Amino acid sequence: MTHDNRVILTGRVAKVAQRSYRPDGSSVTHFLLELNDPEGPSSRSGRSLIDIVAFDPVAESMLDHLQKDQFLRVEGRLRQRRWQTPEGKSRSQVEVIGTDLRIMKGDEPN
């Protein structure tokens, strides 16, 4: 049996992308993608926010082009991170590792 971990999302950039660097010098880009989801759990207004993470070379090629409210298509895979806070509380976060980011025109994918 084959398992596939692939997602395709379209939405608007909700927060300006931020770049960080790993110890090996490669870059990582983080931003929030806002989905118009009437049944979304993240907000009363029907918008869900999804954390998007992109690594080199995707991170380098997109960072300078991403702007808040820009319509974007993100293809990638889901990843769940788990950790404990210094107080010993368990935390987890689901994010999308973006492997293909495309700026879209208007409100609909081309």
pLDDT at res. 110: 43
Q: Rounded distance, CA 16 to CA 27, Å? A: 16
Name which of 9-18, 20-29, 72-81, 98-107 the model is least confident about. 98-107
- Please indicate, yes or no, if residue 49 is contained in any of the structural domains: yes
Contact 34, 12 (CB under 8 A): yes
Q: Rounded distance, CA 95 to CA 82, Å? A: 11
How do residues 42-91 score in pLDDT, each as one tens digit? Answer: 555 667 899 999 988 877 777 777 888 899 999 999 999 999 999 999 99
pLDDT at res. 90: 95
pTM for the complete prediction?
A: 0.79
Contact 13, 66 (CB under 8 A): yes
Domain that holds residue 70: 7-103
- Please indicate, yes or no, if residue 29 is contained in any of the structural domains: yes
Beta bridge mates, 10? 73
- Please indicate, yes or no, if residue 59 is contained in any of the structural domains: yes
CATH number of the domain at 46, please: 2.40.50.140
Instruction: State the total domains in the chain.
Output: 1
Nearest to 101 by CA among 39, 42, 50, 37: 50
